[in-house]
Structure 1
Amino acid sequence: MKLIYVVFVLTLLPAITFSQQKDSFIVEGKDTTIIIDKGTFTLKPVIVQSGIDYESLLRRIQNDTTFYKAFRNLHIVAFTSYNNISMLNKSGGVQASYYSKTKQHRENGCRYMETLDQKTTGDFLKPNGDFNYLTGEMYASIFLTKGKTCGEDNIVAGREFSTAGKSGTEKHKEQLKMLFFNPGRKIPGIPFIGNKLDLYDEDAHKLYDYALDYDTYKGNSVYIFSIKPKEGLGFFSRKNIVVDEMTTRFDAATMEVVSRSYSLSYKAGLYDFNVTMEVEMTHVGNLLVPEAMRYKGNFSAITKKRERGEFTATLFDFKPEL
């Protein structure tokens, strides 16, 4: 099961970090390529011409916690959500589905979720009401809760993820959190691709191009950080690619993440996956929260049947704690 947790959460990788060593420039046409510790980063013309302190900007991107914070904020607000999940057959038809409208209540330091409407088709649910598909389990681990939970907060400073002392499902959940919120580092216990997740090292810079741009998004100015594989990679280099494309938009005024989109794929002897994901943020008061997540994935592991699924999470009617 841990391989499926890995496949699902790989779609939630954020931005890459940068070395703090002194940099140099290579001007190539309209773009400026910065060489940092043997890695190359491309600044688009608008970034160079603006005269901003790009090094400080990149370090803020490196140390970003706003993405993690946005999901932690879901623990301390009330909201309503539409939850749509479809499992597909080989030809793309729907073989099982799940729809629900849920409302999270938050009061007196506790939260609990109320199901306002629910419909399922096919074998999406087991007879006991549990999800029959791992795609559904992953969705529930992010957006759905059971029972009442108290004493939570949205603090991210000082929180560390570790698999030490954990086993079974608890270890898998911790790996999920590590990949979700601290990507780009080697994760223990993941066969074949653990080292390929280290997007901070020199080897990664041989495989990927990194670019920083500036534009508008939904009427606001944003910095855009993107990563994609280098062109012309040979067969053996391509075998080390996990990220096919990734784009993160940061609000230019607050440096909060406003959206991320991903496309990832990998094939190994025991499993394979091909997934895409989009996440969009909004605000409730001064709190950043996710308002939409769209996922489409196809994955298989040696001990599990292949799953072809897609889902959309739509969150709205956010309210602070009563």
Structure 2
Amino acid sequence: MTRILVVVFFLCVCAFSGSAQQIKRFNPDTVITITLDSPVVIRAARLSTQTFINKILNDTSFYQAFRDMMHYSFTAENRIFTYDKKNKVEGKIYRKIYHNNQGPYKMQFLTKQDSGKIFKKNGKYQLYTVEMFDYIFMNAYNSDFIASMDAPAVKGKGSNESYKDKLKTLIFRPGHPIKGIPFIGNKTAIFTPNMRQYYDYAFSSAMYLDTIPVYRFKVSVKPGLSGWTKDDLMIKELVTIFDKRDLRILGRYIDMKWDNLAFDFDVQMNIEMAPFKNGETLLPTKITYQGNWDIAFKKQERASFLILHKGYKKEK
């Protein structure tokens, strides 16, 4: 079951602000903010649905953006909120961290605040979701989370190493199957001939960050499907933002939902990039998540996150 938890967690992130124990959960719009052209007209030669699918399946620029963080110093603001069954804020974490990559990597906490139900008596986090967030997003820049996606699997490595491999596939290679995940391993492969019959594919012209011309490619569950068929589709929507000039991926949003006797989850995640160094380098600037999931015989987990990266400075 732990393996399922990891998978579900790394498919999402969300923005929220409030006072623990006093206000109810607020679900922000996790969809990437863009402005669609009006009227929407696509005139690019030889541009088709398959063009975008091929780019998603073969893209390395999105993954490279995370790797390139190792060459920059920057400030990260991380906000985490956890909720009870009535969606009231139960715990709150705020971290402002300076990631210094000038010379040997150093992580400096500028602000560190916790309130509410965050930790167990043994000092570990109450929720597995928060534990994984803390490990990945506060240590990703100095860990093997961003090691080569093409590195061969290491036989006999521990379960945590296996989990991280699966997380990298979920984030950086959507549309590919994930081996070793009970019930849902093949449901992420939404571009196979068998799965494509259940989805609509549409692309449009838009503006991103008010100044960058982009294509918005949206994959969504077809309307009119039977309830049984619709419930069996784990990925409800996948939106990818492509730079018109070179088709690099600038943003990605995913909406997932699954429900069976063993577990259920409902999560949305959004990742946004921005160009730096005269547009040559893409770097992550915003990650948001909101999600609920429930595993049989485990405590239900409800959380939302906001991650902002600011002040990138080239170091090496």
Q: Which amino acid counterpart does residue 90 of structure 1 have in structure 2?
A: K
In the TM superposition, residue 141 of structure 1 has moved relative to its aligned partner by 3.4
2:312 is the alignment partner of 1:311: no
**Candidates 82, 89, 92, aligned match of 1:97:** 92
Q: Which amino acid counterpart does residue 82 of structure 1 have in structure 2?
A: E
8 Å contact kept, 2:80–2:303: yes
2:8 is the alignment partner of 1:7: yes
Tell me, what secondary structure is at the counterpart of 1:70?
A: helix
In the TM superposition, residue 165 of structure 1 has moved relative to its aligned partner by 3.4
Structure 1 segment 225-244 matched on structure 2, within 5 A: 225-244=217-236
2:65 is the alignment partner of 1:70: yes
Who is 2:78 aligned against?
83
Over 3 Å counting, the alpha-carbon distance change for 1:128 and 1:316 in structure 2 is farther
Tell me, what secondary structure is at the counterpart of 1:145?
A: helix
8 Å contact kept, 1:75–1:154: no
2:214 is the alignment partner of 1:222: yes
Who is 2:161 aligned against?
170
Q: Which amino acid counterpart does residue 268 of structure 1 have in structure 2?
A: N
In the TM superposition, residue 74 of structure 1 has moved relative to its aligned partner by 1.9
Over 3 Å counting, the alpha-carbon distance change for 1:53 and 1:9 in structure 2 is same
In structure 1, list runs of 5 or more residues that go unmatched.
13-43
Who is 1:119 aligned against?
113
Structure 1 segment 168-317 matched on structure 2, within 5 A: 168-217=159-208, 218-285=210-277, 286-317=280-311
Identity of aligned residues (%): 31
Q: Which string of whole-angstrom CA distances, capped at 9 and with x for unpartnered residues, describes residues 258-307 of structure 1?
A: 22222211102111100112221113323211111111100011253111
Distance 1:153 1:173 in 2: 7
Distance 1:164 1:209 in 2: 39
Deviates more, 1:119-128 or 1:65-74: 119-128
In the TM superposition, residue 155 of structure 1 has moved relative to its aligned partner by 8.3
Q: Which amino acid counterpart does residue 98 of structure 2 have in structure 1?
A: K
Q: Which amino acid counterpart does residue 254 of structure 2 have in structure 1?
A: Y
Q: Which amino acid counterpart does residue 77 of structure 1 have in structure 2?
A: Y
Higher relative contact order (CA 8 A, sep 6+): 2
8 Å contact kept, 1:284–1:320: no
Q: Which amino acid counterpart does residue 61 of structure 2 have in structure 1?
A: T
TM-score computed with the length of structure 2 as normaliser: 0.81
Over 3 Å counting, the alpha-carbon distance change for 1:283 and 1:45 in structure 2 is closer
8 Å contact kept, 2:93–2:115: yes
Structure with max Cα Rg: 1
Distance 1:120 1:61 in 2: 38
8 Å contact kept, 2:11–2:269: no
Distance 1:170 1:245 in 2: 28
The structure with the greater share of residues assigned to strand is 1
TM-score computed with the length of structure 1 as normaliser: 0.80
8 Å contact kept, 1:96–1:121: yes
Q: Which amino acid counterpart does residue 257 of structure 1 have in structure 2?
A: I
